[in-house]
Amino acid sequence: MIFSWIKKGLAWPALFIIFSMQAYSIDLNKLRETQHFTVSQNITYAFVVNNVNSDGFGVTSCIVNKDGTFSSCLPTAPKSSNPYTIDFDNNNNAYLSNSSSNTISYCPVNYNGILSICNLSNTNITSPMGIAFFSGYAFISNYSGNSVSYCKQNYDNTLSNCGNTLYFRFKEPRRITIQNGIAYITGDSKETITYCFIKNRQLAHCNETGSTFNNSRRIVFNNKYAFILNNGGDSVSVCNENSDGTLVNCRIKAVGFNNANDLAIFNNFAYIVNNEDDSVSKCNIQSDGSLTNCNLTGYNFQNPTSIAIYTP
């Protein structure tokens, strides 16, 4: 009888903790939706694009916790024109590319991680797939045009004075990552990645680097490694980066994703978007570049195609 009362006594604090966690989650959601922060809260957010054909919310915004998991995942970016990818500049702006409608939207990021207003930028670029910023210019991959364009980024965050770079040997270019003045462009139907030196808003001395990639969708640099997401094979390759920008010793370090579409890295965690089952995988990054302990995190994703981690 005494033991039974002890069990009941222990159960009440547990129930209280569960209730408190649920209430905290609800309050946190309400706080993010209603409170306007005027200064940075140093909160890191994950922004996951939902490629749904509607005028609804095109992005899900989640808080990134210290253990790498996502919580408080809220819909945001209303009427963002069915985006496909998301990229950030260094001034609290998200840029959403939609290759199907040939549009690019820019959305200021509030300190609560909400993209409350998205505006179209009239770039007249065909099938934009990804954006990277460097020295006041946006470099934009044109998927169906097999090219890369540049646009001036104006003080009001619009893009203008666009033109084509003079390298025309891209093959279905996907995403652009700029590292130390070198642009790395992933692409479908190839086993390498194109890398070019940026000179006066042009791409110069372009060559192929790396090996054994399979429909590469994204390249991300972290410490001494380059991580490449392969849509074909649903895997992540890891390469060493030479001082001249080339990629060597490329090998597959993680497999088993589900129509892997994008990759982001924050601290010692890698995040892979699984388009097939509307999820995001969180993996631990080991010292040799291997990805281990991959588990799903976050919620409220619908046909996800892209991810970015950002601290406004």
**Residue 236 contacts by C-beta under 8 Å, 6 or more apart in sequence?**
227, 228, 229, 230, 252, 253, 254, 255, 257, 260, 263, 270, 272, 291
Token reading at 105 = 């939207």
Q: Which amino acid is at 165?
A: T
Q: Give ∠ CA 106-108-110 in degrees, rounded to 5.
A: 150
Domain boundaries, the chain: 36-310
Q: What is the pLDDT of residue 61?
A: 96
CA distances from 86 to 76, 291, 300, 311 (A): 13, 23, 17, 14
Phi, psi of 23 (to 5 degrees): -65, -40
Distance, in Å, from the CA atom of 137 to the CA atom of 191, rounded to the nearest integer, reads 28
Distance, in Å, from the CA atom of 29 to the CA atom of 44, rounded to the nearest integer, reads 15
Q: Give ∠ CA 133-279-80 in degrees, rounded to 5.
A: 50
Distance, in Å, from the CA atom of 41 to the CA atom of 35, rounded to the nearest integer, reads 12
Token reading at 159 = 């893009």
What is the block-wise mean pLDDT of the chain (312 residues), using blocks of 10 residues?
A: 41 37 45 67 94 82 97 90 92 93 92 91 90 97 94 95 91 95 93 96 96 96 96 96 96 96 97 97 96 97 97 94
Phi, psi of 2 (to 5 degrees): -60, -40
Token reading at 45 = 């957010």
CA distances from 259 to 42, 61, 232, 237, 305 (A): 32, 21, 8, 15, 10
Q: What is the pLDDT of residue 218?
A: 97
- First vs last Cα of the chain: how many Å apart? 56
β-bridge partners, 256: none
The answer to whether residues 248 and 240 touch, using CB atoms and an 8 Å cutoff, is yes
Q: What is the pLDDT of residues 205-218, one digit of tens each?
A: 999 999 999 999 99
What is the reported pTM?
Answer: 0.88
User: DSSP letters of 243-264?
Assistant: TTS-EEEEEEEEE--SSEEEEE
26-51 in b/e form (b: 16+ CB < 10 A) is: eeeeeebeeeeeeeeeebbbbbbbbb
Rg from Cα positions in the chain: 21
Superfamily holding 36-310: TolB, C-terminal domain (2.120.10.30)
CA distances from 272 to 99, 185, 191 (A): 21, 18, 20
Neighbours of 169 (CB within 10 A): 9
β-bridge partners, 304: 50
The answer to whether residues 143 and 127 touch, using CB atoms and an 8 Å cutoff, is yes
